[in-house]
A and B are shown apart, each in its own frame.
Chain A
Amino acid sequence: MTDDVLIVEGLGKSHGPVTALADVDLRLAAGQRLALLGHNGAGKTTLIKLALGLIAPSAGRITVAGARPGSRAARAATAYLPEAVAFHASLTGREQLALFARLAGEPARAAGPLLERVGLAHAADRRIRTWSKGMRQRLGIAQAMLGRPRLALLDEPASGLDPVSRHDLYALIDEMAQEGTAVLIASHALTEVEARTDRIAILSGGRLVANDTLGGLRARAAMPIRLRLVARDGAAEEVQARLGGRRVNGASVEILCAPQEKMDTLGRIAALGPLVADLEVTPPGLEALYRHYSGEEKP
């Protein structure tokens, strides 16, 4: 595809004998949101620094908006939010953002509306020294929105944010994607990114072990779906006898079934009629998928 903003081909990075990344292939199109998941040390930050051109790859190559990472064209097209973002504590939020605006080739007055957009207008003229961690993080997001970047690399953007701010953050990320920015979110907060991204890539030990939609990951993993039935009074034993599974706390029965057997199993449950009071179907969560792909738990 020609509209791929980020193209990673056969990328490798090693520091002496230590391999940080090996043979990573990844593509990200305009307007797409990709969650890059992995443990601390799995290579997420290394991948981002390579895409920024801050460090040089040992193998393979990266193309950002058709340019070499670190070139002026690539940097002009890229926004970055570092994991532990630090600003000059003695500048005010408006001054700090105005500096970044001028470096990005925008007028300094672009800072005002942007601060309003991330909900910092009230603190804009106070020194950053007096700001909370969450406010600093929001300033980091504001600078990443400067100048309509084509690619946004966000390293743990939700760290330090309370649930409400996190919700606002994902709304801002959605807006960026709608405006055509390709967004890469590196995170280990698994549940946060579940509903908010188009694709999920999983890094483990420097290798890309998965890169698919959530549905695709589920199908490939073929992990069991968990069905939990609540039986009518005294019927739990009979339900277990007819369906299998295992008894949980008296009145409940839990059944694990493969994705392709799900409809059959549901049919058999429906046939039990009044014996079943309630039913809960849980597909494998991101947490379980993540463990599966990063090789921690082979089914």
Chain B
Amino acid sequence: MMGRIVAIAAAELRIARRNRWVLTATLIMVLFALALTFAGSAPTGSLGVDLLTVAVASMTTLSVYLAPLLALMVAFDALAGEADRGGLALLLSYPVSRGEILAGKGLAHLAVLAFAMAAGFGAAGGAAALAGGAGPESVAALLRLIASSVLLGAIFLALGYAVSALAASSAGAAAMAAGLWLVAVVLYDLGLLGAVVWSGDGAFTRHVFPWLLAANPADAFRLWNVGAAEAVALASGMQGAADALPRWAAPVSLVLWPFAALGLARLAFGRMEP
């Protein structure tokens, strides 16, 4: 089983490298992270924290949007595109299970994302530390940011595969992926914001809203990074919701989501008739 997964992963990695996917994703991450770090360096003095802390806060906001986007862009074509080109039927005529195909592609794509994120956040974090200082706490925050960004990427990779299997075609999968991104990272928050405004300081805002926030992987990611480091929270102003939840809520959500999403993808792939 491992042999087949590794064979598929190795081929997918090669394809990602030759299609310049690795290069593109890494460049995007490095450029955005560097730009945000230095654009966001202004409030350092007034908050009394080192530059790396502020940089991590800015990059957390960036990652909420960019990690799901990059993951969906890598994943949406993985199954629908192969089915379109006729390669999926051939692949499935070999004694390899659909789970193994998903695992192989997933490993390769996750490696691409992890590399891009480590390079991007690492470079920006390093530059911030050199320019404005860093402490043990802010370095820990940076490492947590990279790890949780990879997790967030893994979730949206798996959701991307599910979309890819559900859509009838490559173009359909692209549209569904764009819709999913919009809902998960923009509209969900807007909806919650509306509900909070309507509820005021009512029961919804105090008891339901934080949990709804933790249930969405993008928000859980934000809560985790914010809640774990007080200084980061200070810089991003998201402390209220983080305080209302037990400390484990956001990390658990972020760790459980990849499995749930992968299960969903496997289910959708199983129903696909190439």
> Contact residues of A with B, CB < 8 Å?
49, 52, 54-55, 72, 75-76, 78-80, 82-88, 90-91, 95-96, 99-100, 102-105, 108, 127, 143
Contacts and interface: CB of A to CB of B under 8 A. Distances in A.
Majority DSSP secondary structure for residues of B touching A: helix
Nearest to A103: B94
A100 B18 CA distance: 19
B86 A82 contact: yes
Contacts of B94: 75, 100, 103-104
B92 A52 contact: yes
Contacts of B14: 90-91, 95
Contacts of A54: 89, 92-93, 273-274
Nearest to B97: A72
Interface stretch (B3-11, B192-200, B210-218): B3-11
25 contacts: A49-B89, A52-B93, A54-B273, A55-B273, A72-B95, A76-B95, A80-B89, A80-B93, A82-B90, A84-B86, A85-B87, A88-B87, A90-B15, A91-B14, A95-B14, A99-B10, A102-B3, A103-B7, A103-B8, A103-B96, A104-B94, A105-B95, A108-B7, A127-B18, A143-B90
Given A91-B11, A91-B14, A103 B86 contact: no
Contacts of A84: 86
Given A90-B15, A95-B11, 4 more contacts: A100-B94, A102-B4, A105-B95, A108-B7
A104 B3 CA distance: 11
B19 interface: yes
A290 B120 CA distance: 64
Interface string B255-274: 00000000000000000011
A150 B78 CA distance: 31
A54 B89 CA distance: 7
Majority DSSP secondary structure for residues of A touching B: mixed
A103 B92 contact: no
Contacts of B273: 54-55
Contacts of B8: 99, 103
Closest 10 CB pairs of A and B: A86-B85, A80-B93, A102-B7, A90-B18, A103-B94, A75-B95, A76-B95, A99-B11, A86-B86, A86-B87
A103 B87 contact: no
A154 B35 CA distance: 55
B48 to A, nearest CB: 51
Contacts of A143: 90
Interface string B1-38: 00110011011001100110000000000000000000
A54 B86 CA distance: 12
Contact of B90 (A55, A76, A85): A85
Nearest to A129: B18
Contacts of B87: 85-88
Contacts of A79: 93
A82 B95 contact: no
B19 A75 contact: no
Interface-centre pick from A49, A99, A103 (highest chain B CB count, 10 A) = A103
Contacts of B92: 52, 54
Interface in B140-159: none
A85 B4 contact: no
Nearest to B273: A55
A139 to B, nearest CB: 11
Nearest to B94: A103
Nearest to B12: A88
A78 B11 contact: no
Nearest to B91: A103
B104 to A, nearest CB: 10
Nearest to A75: B95
Contacts of B91: 103
